[in-house]
Structure 1
Amino acid sequence: MQAQTELATKKIDSLKITLLESKGRDSIFTAKQNYKIGELYRKYILSDSAYLYFYKAEKIFRKYNYKFETAATLFGIAVCQTYDKDYTGSESTSIEALTLLESLSETNDVKKYKAYINNNLGIVFNELGLYEESIKYHKRALELKQDLEGNFERSIGLSENNIAFTYKNLQQYELALKGYQKILSNTKLINNYPDVHVLALGNYANTLYLSKNLKQLPGLYLKALNICDSVNDTYNSIIILQHLAEYYNDFNQKDSAKYYAYKAKGIAEAYNNDDLLKSLLLISEIETGELSNKYLKDYISLSDSLERSERLNRDKFARIRYETNKIEQQNIQIAKERMWLFIISVVIVLASFLLYLVIAQRNKNIELQFKQKQQEANEEIYNLMLSQNESVEEARDLEKKRISQELHDGVLGRLFGTRLSLDSLNMSNSEEAIKTREQYIDELKIIEDDIRKVSHELNTDFVSGSGFSDIIKTLIETQTLAYNLDYELTHDDDISWDFVGNKMKIHIYRIIQETLHNIYKHAKASVVEISFKLKNNVICLTIKDNGSGFDINRAKSGIGLKNMNSRIKELNGTINITSKKNMGTQVVIEAPILQT
């Protein structure tokens, strides 16, 4: 027994290590490991430790609807409850396990656990004194075992012993003796399984003793005791030793009675259970005087201790259930909190995304509105330039008409008169005529000069700096007057604005307008210099003021400067701003000429 306990402890330690290493792995694997540990505790060590591991396994199996595994685990729990005399709890757990198995297909494993559970119910009802119920469940267990595939010879022998044992408690000694005789006549069984042989032989001898059939006693007791000694079965020898003590005490053979009673007590002390309790009571009945009282007090003390221990174990089981359920509820609560946290996070992310879309759409709308206004302003400037060009064309037409009238009424009239005068002198060769012709010839020279002058006027642009140059000049004059600024405008005559695209003209117009506005608003300047130059088909516009200047690295980029940069970008140009405090600011813009 000691060797089995040590082996079981090693297996349990190994399983616990595996369980620890597998933390976070498959839940069913964890449940199976807990079940294995529970089984080892149940069979060899402590029922309360077994209960803890069974309960952990059962929770997982039940969660994943593993009905067979759940029923097998419930059986383990029920047996633990029987060990600790929680018979009502064991009955309830066993019935629940049977109910689960009834819903499954009738496999060999299902029938096996049905048999085991019925056997446990038979033991429970026997302990409760409900012997008829006990026999019913033991017989049902026996029928199931006899129908199983595989070697269940020992298990069948134990069920037959349980039935006979219950008949003995029911005082139906003939049925009990008949059952034991059947077991003892099974040579194969008693040879292969000495523990079953001892149980049956010891119970058979005790049944004979209770039925007052003493012919084979104490021989059968001693035979059973010898078998225990031969197989080193110390635990089963306790009951046989107690029976021998009872037998000798009845015949007033006190020395023999005391010998076997004290020997039973000595072995039972290693287990400190009901067998020790029974040994103490037996000794108190055999002994006399103070010694009898001493063992009776020891019996009462141990009885109270065992009762408290049993109650504590039952409470411990309830506490394990409560604490496990509490942990499970906490885990459920944590899972709920995590779920809500996830939902809130998703909602926040979605809300943030929607807010971003709204803001982005609003900014896009603002940008579109700005572009629309910019387009309207560009159209306004373009219409202004067209209007200016129309005014110039009208002036040209008027000037042409004036020159035409001048030629027709002045020069042509004078030519006609001179021609007639020359015609009248052609017939005369007098000195006066010759002199007069010379005068007319001089007049023709004068008329020639007049015609040359008119021709020159026609070939010269009558409006100096007309077209876009005039529009820019008008803009500068208007804004500098409004802003109380003096200006100096320098224009490169090599720039032919007629070959420059309207888009570029509009952007240049707007850039000058915005720059003058910024000078007025921020620079506190008194003079502004504006110049246009042409370099390698690139227009260079420079705007310089004598204002307060600013720190370019620390200045914020306002919407005006952003608009200027946007316009320069559309022209594929560059902008360079230099400024120093109290030394003014210079803006240089370079843009390649875009053809109309």
Structure 2
Amino acid sequence: MQYPRKSYRIYFILLLIISCTGERSTNSKNNDSAAHNRTRYFYETVKATEDTREKIIYLDSALASIKNSRDTLLPLLLDYKIFYHNSLKEYDTSFFYVDSLISLSGAHRDTANLAKAFYRKARIYNYLGEQEEVFSNSFESRRYYLAAGDSSQAGRRTLEMALAQISGGDYLGSQETATEALSLLEQEKDSVYFSSVHNIIAQVYHERELYNDAVPEYRNALRFAPSLSDSLSILNNLALVYRDNKDFDKAIATWDEILGKADSKTKILRYEDNRAFTRWLKDSTQDVETELLDVLRLRQELDEEIGLQASYSHLLKYYLDKNEALSRKYSEELLKLTRKHKNAGMELTALQNLIPISPLPQTRSYFQRYIHLSDSLQMASINAKNFFAKIRFDEERKQEEIISLEAENRIQDLEAQRMRTRTLIGSLIALLLLLALSFLIYYLRQRFKREKIREVHKTESRISKVIHDELANDIFNVMSSLEAVAPAPVVDQLEKIYLRTRDISRENSDIETGENYITYLKAALTNITPRDSRLIISGETKVNWSRLQEEKKIVIYRVLQELLVNMKKHSGAKLVAVSFAENNKFVEINYSDNGRGLNWKRARKGSGLQNVENRLSSLNGKIEFESREGKGFRVKILIPS
């Protein structure tokens, strides 16, 4: 078999180059659109044209206009090319285009067009009579149709596989494949194919001489027969079963029935020939010679060589015991015709008849040919069976390997998923542990801060008590004992020291943090404020003091105390304002006075304001200072609520 001309090869290479093209610019896409319109024009012209050659010319123009291998018309145009070249029996060209369609569809992972392409290839091999290739390509087509989920088309391809097997002599394999086709076909949609499947199964039973099994299958084939012509062919096959089962009356009655309905001269001759021969088989004394010869003459006039083989076969048997010369004559005619049409089965029939009635030299030649042909047919049948079985076996093994590989992949995926799950769980556990540890550290730090604040407060209270109970009393006693003898300035100085000691004691005394906290806070702040200064407190009722922790209340008190003491010592302010507010996250305190203000950089180095910052930082609080010398002093304090 020769393949297409060089231009076709170049075109195929161009298709492959097109299929590898990547993304293009907007201008290229516009060109593709214009090319698609030209292709569509040629495609519509093909459909409107009657002459096959003209169709092919327009198809070539359409293919040449395609610029993008993903053009949806490309597979359709290739399919048309295959069909029309087949109709002209240009099978070499058809092979080229079907291979192009397979390559294109494979590159684009187009399962539907791959299935169609292998079906077309099987049809080409069917025209050439290569049944093994028909089976192989139909098998591939079925595989892709199943992958595409098209059970109906898969069933049709399975039917074609069965037909290829029966043509190759694999009757048992054909029956198995035909039965498989029944499970894939849809009864309403594929009734025509149901008829063919049952007809194949019946033929297999007939070939195996299982006549009683063949009859109901032919009856089933009749149920689904799509036309009168098909029904008549099935009834003819049924009559042959009756004849071979020696039920001659049923066979003759069936031919009598269908002869009145036959729709062509060829079929009428077939039915008449079969009926006459069956009447002779039933009763060899019946004179059917005229009928058999009339059918032969009419077949010769029609040049109907397939029918002539049946006539020669019947006549050589009819004359075998009546006229040896005529029997040999029709045997030789059958031999020539079967060799011409390569009908090995009928050639064996002719040789089998010629061997006992031919001269010795010819007998030896016929016998050698008979042995050779018989062995060849047997070997061909065995090879065909092995070939068909091998294709099935290889495919089943491939599917098993695929299933096994998929199972392995699933196991690996599951194992990988387990590993990912274990890793995720481990990560979550580690994260939870880290969060728990972080929370524990945070909790311990906060507790430490609270305890530190409480401890500082206790220390301050203890110092305050010592100062009040010991130092202040000692100073008071000294001052009292010296009052009568010491100069007045000394006594006044001692009194000032005593008052300062008492103030320090008060400043560091215990703080009320319970329900009366705000009352205590206001009173304490008022006491700290100098008598010639005015203190305004606002917004204290807007804060939910009951939910504020004890440590925070202490810090608020100490910070405000520090600010007022600082004001008293350095500011000389006459007006002091303290406001409270609360949002979801913070207690906000704003302090301001109209004093002299201060240089913040210098003031920050002192212990007073530094204490304020330290106390707030222990609670993660924030403080913002705003002060300039001679412009007053403002502070914004934020404490987490």
Counterpart position of 1:408: 480
Counterpart position of 1:390: 461
Deviations 1:424-455 (A, max 9, x none): xxxxxxxxxxxxxxxxxxxxxx7134235435
Q: Report if the CA contact (8 A) 1:242-1:264 is conserved.
A: no
Distance 1:540 1:394 in 2: 26
Deviations 1:150-201 (A, max 9, x none): 5x122122123223333444556666555445545546x115xx4x345335
Distance 1:234 1:539 in 2: 126
For the residue of structure 2 that corresponds to 1:129, the secondary structure is coil
- The one-letter code matched in structure 1 to 2:601 is K
Distance 2:605 2:427 in 1: 41
Distance 2:215 2:90 in 1: 35
Q: Which has the larger radius of gyration?
A: 1
Distance 1:172 1:130 in 2: 14
Distance 1:12 1:204 in 2: 44
> 5 Å matches for 1:413-492?
413-414=484-485, 447-454=487-494, 457=497
* Aligned partner of 1:82 among 161, 166, 175: 166
Distance 1:132 1:204 in 2: 21
Deviations 1:336-386 (A, max 9, x none): 223223323332233222222211221122222222332343244334433
Counterpart position of 1:517: none
Counterpart position of 2:583: none
For the residue of structure 2 that corresponds to 1:215, the secondary structure is helix
Deviations 1:250-297 (A, max 9, x none): 45269955862453144133x6x3234445545656653334322321
The answer to whether 1:159 aligns with 2:239 is no
* Aligned partner of 2:206 among 126, 131, 152: 126
* Aligned partner of 2:416 among 332, 345, 364: 345
Counterpart position of 2:551: none
Q: What is the deviation of 1:304?
A: 0.9
Q: Report if the CA contact (8 A) 1:268-1:276 is conserved.
A: no
The answer to whether 1:356 aligns with 2:400 is no
Counterpart position of 2:407: 336
Q: Which segment is superposed worse, 295-304 or 387-396? A: 387-396
Counterpart position of 2:264: 190
Counterpart position of 1:292: 363
Q: What is the deviation of 1:306?
A: 1.4
Distance 1:253 1:72, change over 3 A: closer
Q: What is the deviation of 1:59?
A: 7.2
Distance 2:86 2:453 in 1: 109
Counterpart position of 1:323: 394
For the residue of structure 1 that corresponds to 2:487, the secondary structure is helix
Distance 1:132 1:329 in 2: 38
Distance 2:405 2:390 in 1: 22
Distance 1:116 1:459, change over 3 A: same
For the residue of structure 2 that corresponds to 1:85, the secondary structure is coil
* Aligned partner of 1:535 among 589, 601, 612: 601
Q: Which segment is superposed worse, 294-303 or 5-14? A: 5-14
- The one-letter code matched in structure 2 to 1:344 is E
Distance 2:243 2:334 in 1: 23
Q: What is the deviation of 1:221?
A: 1.0
Q: What is the deviation of 1:130?
A: 3.9
Distance 1:238 1:538 in 2: 126
Counterpart position of 2:595: none
Q: Report if the CA contact (8 A) 1:177-1:204 is conserved.
A: yes
Distance 1:299 1:218, change over 3 A: same
Distance 1:44 1:237, change over 3 A: farther
Q: Report if the CA contact (8 A) 1:42-1:76 is conserved.
A: no
Counterpart position of 2:299: 224
Distance 1:569 1:49, change over 3 A: farther
Count of aligned residue pairs for this structure pair = 442
* Aligned partner of 2:373 among 295, 302, 309: 302
Distance 2:197 2:328 in 1: 44
Counterpart position of 1:367: 438
Counterpart position of 2:46: none
Q: What is the deviation of 1:8?
A: 8.5
Distance 1:277 1:131 in 2: 23
For the residue of structure 1 that corresponds to 2:289, the secondary structure is coil
- The one-letter code matched in structure 1 to 2:476 is S
Q: What is the deviation of 1:410?
A: 1.3
- TM-score, normalised relative to structure 1: 0.58
Q: Report if the CA contact (8 A) 2:313-2:331 is conserved.
A: no
Q: Which segment is superposed worse, 322-331 or 394-403? A: 394-403
Q: Report if the CA contact (8 A) 1:121-1:134 is conserved.
A: yes
Deviations 1:26-67 (A, max 9, x none): 989977887787677668744434444555677788999988
Unpaired runs of 5+ residues, structure 2, are 1-84, 509-558, 565-598, 608-613, 624-634
- The one-letter code matched in structure 2 to 1:499 is E
Counterpart position of 1:260: 333
Distance 2:498 2:351 in 1: 149
Distance 1:460 1:91, change over 3 A: closer
Q: Report if the CA contact (8 A) 1:31-1:61 is conserved.
A: yes
Q: Which segment is superposed worse, 29-38 or 128-137? A: 29-38
Identity value in percent: 16
Deviations 1:377-404 (A, max 9, x none): 3244334433443354345433333332
Deviations 1:66-105 (A, max 9, x none): 887776666545444433334344455556766898xx87
Counterpart position of 1:491: none
* Aligned partner of 1:499 among 562, 573, 576: 562
Q: Report if the CA contact (8 A) 2:449-2:619 is conserved.
A: no
Unpaired runs of 5+ residues, structure 1, are 415-445, 469-495, 502-532, 542-563, 574-591
Distance 2:194 2:289 in 1: 39
Q: Report if the CA contact (8 A) 1:209-1:217 is conserved.
A: no
Distance 1:3 1:303, change over 3 A: farther
Q: Report if the CA contact (8 A) 2:116-2:141 is conserved.
A: yes
- TM-score, normalised relative to structure 2: 0.54
Distance 1:206 1:540, change over 3 A: farther
Distance 2:209 2:447 in 1: 106
- The one-letter code matched in structure 2 to 1:300 is I
